[in-house]
């Protein structure tokens, strides 16, 4: 077998991104920059044609925004085309263009899988290492983007490729269990209107930002209408400068309004709607969470304690304290009951009714996965 040049270890798997395309976030950022460039160009037309001034400054700003928009789309694709992933006996290595990132296989706390909705056989595999809470708290993860059969690669990383089947993202988790793996407990979060309210400082801050943007939209409209009325008295209503000014103002207002709506959707509405698609599973070897096209895979051997926290209305949140090399009682999963709710899945069962049954099973000794 070949050996990698970094650690000199035997290579057990290697792969490359299968879909070379920017992520939805990168595409959204590029469209935002292109819209800003369009607004600057329209204002440059007004400055040059109506005011007879040099439009160099707004045109330069539009050119700068356009360049950043193209970079947001092309640079990630360029890096993906030069990316290679390697799994060795002890490490997972990502060669991303000129950069190299590694993570020890034994230090991985859990894995997240993000299936491609258009191509369910491809997806991203995110390997997360939980880190200490308090002053040493930080984020450590390695993401393998657009690989084929990410659940199969996750099985290779955890040393269970001999018993793990090959599946796709359009199959439920129960059809992609390891051979000999049995479901011992399953549950879903209860739907509550309270989930539409912000949870934690992050969501409150984002909601305040959204409210400020909505207020800014109202103020922009109230100021723009009288201003356009005064300009209309000087410029003909169907003249090119007046139409360019009106289009620029309208596009700027729509841009701010769209950003505010996206923040509300991504912060409050989307997480609440995704709870309908969330399912929790405890098997004899793992903890599995499925939420739409997202999945979380956690070996039960990594769990050292379980915290059962009341959530009101007879419901409970079950937090899992994860252990790892040189890091005891780790809290990247929210193990100590933080209220902050980020966009990614965490090893937490939220708003479950049978928390006692789940906690009892999680405290039992799991079956160890077979070695490769």
Three-state SS for the chain is CCECCCCCCEEEEEECCCCCCCCHHHHHHHHHHHHHHHHHHHHHHHHHHHCCCCCHHHHHHHHHHHHHHHHHHHHHHHHHHCEEEEEECCEEEEEECCEEEEEEHHHCCEEEEEECCCCCCEEEEEEEECCCCHHHCCCEEEEEEEEECHHHHHHHHCCCCCCCCCCCCCCCHHHCCCCCCCEEEEECCCCCHHHHCCCHHHHHHHHHHHHHHHHHHHHHHHHHHHHHHHHHHHCCCCCHHHHHHHHHHHHHHHHHHHHHHHHHHHHHHHHHHHHHHEEEEEECCEEEEEECCEEEEEEHHHEEEEEEEEEECCEEEEEEEEEECCEEEECCCCCCCCCCCCCCCCCEEEEECCHHHHHHHHHCCCCCCCCC
Q: Is residue 190 part of a domain?
A: no
Instruction: From 177, 89, 175, select the one nearest 369 (Cα to Cα).
Output: 177
**Distance in angstroms (rounded) separating the CA atoms of residues 335 and 339:** 11
Structural domains in the chain (count): 2
pTM for the full predicted model: 0.83
Q: Is residue 30 part of a domain?
A: yes
pLDDT for the residue numbered 136: 45
Which of 244, 274, 304 terminates a domain? The answer is: 274
Q: Is residue 259 part of a domain?
A: yes
Which of 79, 113, 144 terminates a domain? The answer is: 79
Q: Is residue 3 part of a domain?
A: no
Q: Is residue 98 part of a domain?
A: no
- Residue 202, domain extent: 195-274
- pLDDT (tens, 9 = 90+) of the chain, 372 residues, equals 587 777 888 999 999 999 898 888 899 999 999 999 999 999 999 998 888 888 999 999 999 999 999 999 999 999 999 999 999 999 999 999 888 999 999 889 899 999 998 888 999 999 988 765 444 455 578 999 999 999 999 999 998 888 777 777 788 888 888 888 999 999 999 877 667 777 777 788 889 999 999 999 999 999 999 988 888 887 776 788 888 989 999 999 999 999 999 999 988 888 778 888 899 999 999 999 999 899 999 999 888 888 888 888 888 889 888 876 655 444 444 444 444 556 788 888 988 999 999 999 999 888 765 544
Which of 213, 242, 274 terminates a domain? The answer is: 274
Q: Is residue 6 part of a domain?
A: no
Q: Is residue 229 part of a domain?
A: yes
pLDDT for the residue numbered 361: 93
Q: Is residue 86 part of a domain?
A: no
pLDDT for the residue numbered 335: 42
Instruction: From 251, 12, 288, select the one nearest 174 (Cα to Cα).
Output: 288
């Amino acid at each position: 077998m070949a050996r990698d040049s970094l650690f000199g270890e035997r290579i057990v798997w290697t792969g490359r991104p299968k879909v070379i395309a920017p992520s939805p976030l990168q595409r959204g950022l590029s469209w935002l920059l292109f819209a800003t460039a369009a607004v600057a160009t329209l204002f440059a037309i007004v400055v040059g044609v109506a005011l007879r001034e040099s439009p160099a400054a707004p045109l330069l700003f539009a050119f700068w925004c356009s360049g950043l928009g193209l970079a947001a789309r092309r640079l990630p694709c360029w890096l993906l085309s030069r990316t290679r992933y390697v799994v060795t006996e002890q490490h997972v290595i990502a060669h991303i263009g000129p950069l190299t990132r590694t993570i020890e296989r034994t230090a991985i706390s859990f894995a997240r899988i993000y299936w491609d909705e258009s191509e369910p056989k491809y997806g991203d595999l995110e390997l997360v290492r939980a880190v200490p809470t308090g002053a040493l708290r930080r984020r450590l993860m390695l993401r393998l983007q657009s690989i084929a059969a990410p659940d199969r690669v996750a099985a290779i990383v955890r040393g269970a490729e001999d018993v793990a089947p090959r599946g796709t993202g359009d199959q439920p988790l129960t059809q992609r269990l390891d051979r000999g793996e049995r479901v011992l407990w399953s549950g879903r979060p209860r739907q509550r209107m309270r989930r539409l309210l912000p949870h934690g400082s992050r969501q409150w801050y984002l909601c305040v930002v959204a409210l400020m943007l909505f207020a800014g939209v109202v103020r922009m409209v109230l100021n723009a209408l009288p201003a356009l009325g005064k300009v209309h008295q000087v410029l003909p209503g169907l003249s090119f400068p007046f139409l360019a000014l009106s289009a620029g103002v309208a596009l700027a207002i729509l841009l701010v309004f769209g950003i505010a709506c996206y923040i509300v959707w991504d912060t409050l509405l989307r997480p609440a709607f995704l709870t309908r698609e969330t399912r929790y599973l405890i098997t004899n070897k793992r903890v599995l969470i499925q939420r739409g096209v997202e999945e979380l895979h956690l070996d039960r051997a990594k769990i050292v304690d379980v915290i059962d926290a009341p959530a009101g209305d007879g419901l409970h949140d079950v937090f899992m304290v994860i252990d790892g090399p040189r890091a005891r009682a780790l809290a990247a999963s929210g193990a100590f009951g933080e209220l902050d709710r980020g966009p990614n899945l965490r090893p937490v069962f939220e708003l479950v009714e049978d928390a006692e049954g789940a906690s009892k099973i999680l405290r039992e000794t799991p079956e160890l996965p077979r070695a490769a």
